[in-house]
Each structure stands twice: as structure tokens, then as C-alpha cells.
């Protein structure tokens, strides 16, 4: 018998992030508490539906798992095929990144005086269970890549907006910046509210 997905884990996580947003806690508190909740979520790999964990051979996938009704936050699974990477980009809002499967390499950047984009520190490897944070306040520009050339990696991201609808920027190697809106790879959401599947009546 196939084990039922523990979608209650995602449902509980969404509730905890909503409570932090409802309480309008300071960003530093939100990132600390939200990071702890995300760490708890990704400690278990029994809740993400397969449909939102599929790589694409052409580019990384960004699957929306949940969006707050007032677009105050969103939860997204990023699925990285072997060797795939983002361009250098920003977010414009706070964000939390937790690695569920595999590993990622994150390289931070900053805009130096005169507008030149420079690397900020050494690349960091984030293995399964690791949580990272971004925001305009603490550092918002980075490039993320799959640490593996032969395996899929998956990370769970939480953002302080409906990130697929936010106008952001990429920073081409040729210089300058270019606006983009990422959108999402999926047209449907996982149903995390169907409790009957978790607790069937005998």
C-alpha cells in the first residue's frame, strides 16, 4: 500500500507563515522564525506531490505551491535539473530558501559604486536541510545553481509577495539590468485542504 502524502505538513507551514505575517513582526524576526519553520518542513521529504517535483530538460522549474489570498507571501518549489542555474537576479522582497533534495550553490552579488556588479563573498553550498535568506536589507542579488551535474535538486522558497507577479531584475554579464516577471511553471495548485485523504473514515 502506497503511503499517503503528508500534505498536512505544508498546510501547517502555511499557517505558521500566515501567523507571522498577520502579526506584522519585524523582517529580522520573520526571517528567523520563518526559517525555523521552513527547516522543520524540509526535514521531511514525504509531502511534496510528484507533479511539483518534476525537472525540465531545458530550464529550472518554479512551481507555485501556495499563494496568500492578499499576495502577502507565496510558497514555491524550485526544481533544478542537472547543471541548471538561474541568471544573476534580485527579488525586491524578503525570501527564505530551504533545500529539500540534493544541493545548491549560491553566489551572492552586490552593485558597487558606478553600477558594476561584483561577487560578494565565496560561493556557498547549501545541502539538504539548509536554509538561506534574502532581502533588500540583508542582500538581495544572487545566482543559484544545482550543485550536481547528474542529479535533480529541489528547494522550497517562501517570499514576501506573490513572487511570480513581482517585477524584478536580472543582471546580464554584459552589464546593466533588465526587468522580468518570472511567472510559474504550473497552472494548478496542490490541494492541501483535502483532509479526508489524510484521515479516511474506516
Q: How confident is the model at residue 202 (pLDDT cuts 50, 70, 90)?
A: low
Alpha-carbon distance 80 to 52, whole Å? 12
Q: What is the DSSP letter of 127?
A: E
pLDDT at 146 > cutoff 90: yes
Can you give the pLDDT at residue 12? 96
Domains in the chain, please, with CATH? 7-186 (2.60.120.10)
Three-state secondary structure of 136-159:
CCCECEEEEEECCCCCCEEEEEEE
Percent of the chain with pLDDT over 90: 83
Question: What pLDDT, in 10s, does the model give residues 123-141?
Answer: 999 999 999 999 999 999 9
pLDDT at 1 > cutoff 60: no
Alpha-carbon distance 53 to 49, whole Å? 7
Write down the residue that cell numbers 518542513 correspond to.
41
Question: How many angstroms separate the Cα of 191 from the Cα of each of 6, 64, 67?
Answer: 12, 12, 12
Q: How confident is the model at residue 111 (pLDDT cuts 50, 70, 90)?
A: confident
Alpha-carbon distance 168 to 15, whole Å? 27
The mean pLDDT value for 106-131 works out to 91
Amino acid at each position: 500500500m502506497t503511503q499517503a502524502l503528508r500534505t498536512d505538513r505544508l498546510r501547517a507551514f502555511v499557517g505558521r507563515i500566515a501567523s507571522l505575517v498577520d502579526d506584522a513582526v519585524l523582517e529580522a524576526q520573520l526571517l528567523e522564525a520563518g526559517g525555523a519553520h521552513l527547516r522543520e518542513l524540509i526535514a521531511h521529504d514525504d509531502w511534496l506531490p510528484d507533479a511539483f517535483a518534476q525537472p525540465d530538460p531545458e530550464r529550472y522549474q518554479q512551481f507555485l505551491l501556495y499563494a496568500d489570498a492578499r499576495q502577502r507571501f507565496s510558497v514555491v518549489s524550485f526544481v533544478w535539473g542537472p547543471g541548471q542555474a538561474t541568471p544573476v537576479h534580485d527579488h525586491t522582497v524578503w525570501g527564505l530558501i530551504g533545500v529539500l533534495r540534493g544541493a545548491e550553490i549560491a553566489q551572492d552579488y552586490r552593485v558597487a559604486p558606478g553600477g558594476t556588479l561584483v561577487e560578494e563573498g565565496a560561493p556557498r553550498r547549501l545541502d539538504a536541510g539548509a536554509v538561506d535568506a534574502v532581502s533588500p536589507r540583508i542582500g538581495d542579488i544572487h545566482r543559484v545553481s544545482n550543485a550536481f551535474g547528474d542529479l535533480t535538486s529541489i528547494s522550497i522558497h517562501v517570499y514576501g509577495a506573490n513572487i511570480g507577479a513581482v517585477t524584478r531584475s536580472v543582471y546580464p554579464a554584459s552589464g546593466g539590468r533588465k526587468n522580468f516577471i518570472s511567472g510559474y511553471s504550473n497552472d494548478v495548485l496542490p490541494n492541501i485542504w483535502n483532509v479526508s485523504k489524510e484521515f479516511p473514515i474506516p
